[in-house]
Amino acid sequence: MILTAAHCVRDGETGEWYKDFIFAAQYNQGKYGGIYSYDCVATKNGWLSSSFEKYLYDYAMIRVDNPSRTGNFGTHWGWRGEYKDGVKIGYPGGVANGEVIQVERGPLAFVDGVVQMKHGNMADQGGSSGGAWIGAFSDKEGNSDGNYVISVESFGYVEEPGIDYGPYLDQNFKDLWDYVENGCK
C-alpha cells in the first residue's frame, strides 16, 4: 500500500477522483527501481470540505498490484506525544526541480489539530505533497526498530518558509487502512 495526500488523488471540492496513477519506486532523475500499478484508491469523506478541517483528512491510500521488492515503512497512528521530531521525505520542486528525493528533519508540534514540522528548508516545498513523515527514523540497513510513517506532507504557508503541515493519523486513518488493505471493500 502507498500512503499519500488526499489532494494528490481526489479534488477536495468536487470529489472528482484523479486517474492513471503510477508509482515509480526509488525514483531519481527519471530512473527508478520498479513501476507499480494499482487496483484501488480511497480517502476519507472528511477530505471533501471547504473548511480547514479537511486537512485533518488529507491522506489517501493506494493499493498497488505487487509487493515491494525494496521493503517498506511501518505506520503509527494515535502516536501523539511519542515523537518530538520527525523526518520528512519527498520531491520538493524547489530542490533539483523535484527530481531527487530530499530528507529534512525538524521538531514536531500540534497546531489547530494538524502536525507541524519546522524543518528549516527555505526552498519551495511544492511537489513534495504526500511524502512520508517518519518517526524514529533510521537509515541503518536492517533496522526494525523505527521508520514509522506518522503523517504525510499536506500544506505550508508562503509566509512560513521552512515549516510544513500534515494530518495527525488517528483511528480514522486506521479504518481507511483496513478498508484499502481489503481491496476497498
Mean pLDDT of the 138-161 span: 88
Q: Which of 4, 137, 138, 130 has its CA nearest to residue 62?
A: 4
pLDDT, one tens digit per residue, over 70-88 is: 788 999 999 999 999 999 9
pLDDT of 71: 80
Cell triple for 154: 499536506
Between 69 and 133, the higher pLDDT residue = 133
Domains, the chain, with CATH or none: 2-72+172-181 (2.40.10.10), 74-169 (2.40.10.10)
Cα-only R_g, the chain = 16
* Chain-centre distance for alpha carbon 164: 12
Residue 41 has what pLDDT?
A: 97
> Burial level of 96, CB count in 10 A (0-12/13-18/19+)?
middle
Supply the pLDDT for residue 68: 85
Q: What confidence score (pLDDT) does residue 144 get?
A: 67
Answer yes or no: is pLDDT of 184 > 80: yes
Q: Has residue 38 got a pLDDT over 70?
A: yes
**Of how many residues is the chain composed?**
185
Are 153 and 166 a contacting pair, CB within 8 Å?
yes
Looking at residue 142, what is its pLDDT? 67
Res 5: pLDDT:
98
Place of cell 514540522: 117
pLDDT of the residue at 143: 62
Instruction: Determine the Cα–Cα distance for residues 55 and 171; give it in Å rounded to an integer.
Output: 15
pLDDT digits (tens, 9 = 90+) for 89-143: 999 988 899 999 999 999 999 999 999 999 999 988 888 999 999 999 988 776 6
Please state, rounded to an integer, the average pLDDT across all residues of the chain.
93
DSSP letters along 105-173, please?
A: EEEEEEETTEEEEE----S--TT-TT-EEEES---STT--S--EEEEE--B--TTSTTEEEEE---HHH
C-alpha distances in Å from residue 118, one per residue of 52, 80, 99, 121, 134: 20, 17, 23, 9, 14
Is the pLDDT assigned to residue 54 strictly greater than 70?
A: yes
- In this prediction, residue 111 carries a pLDDT of 96
Q: Which residues contact 168 (CB under 8 A, 6 or more apart)?
A: 56, 80, 110, 113, 114, 115, 151
- Model confidence, pTM: 0.93
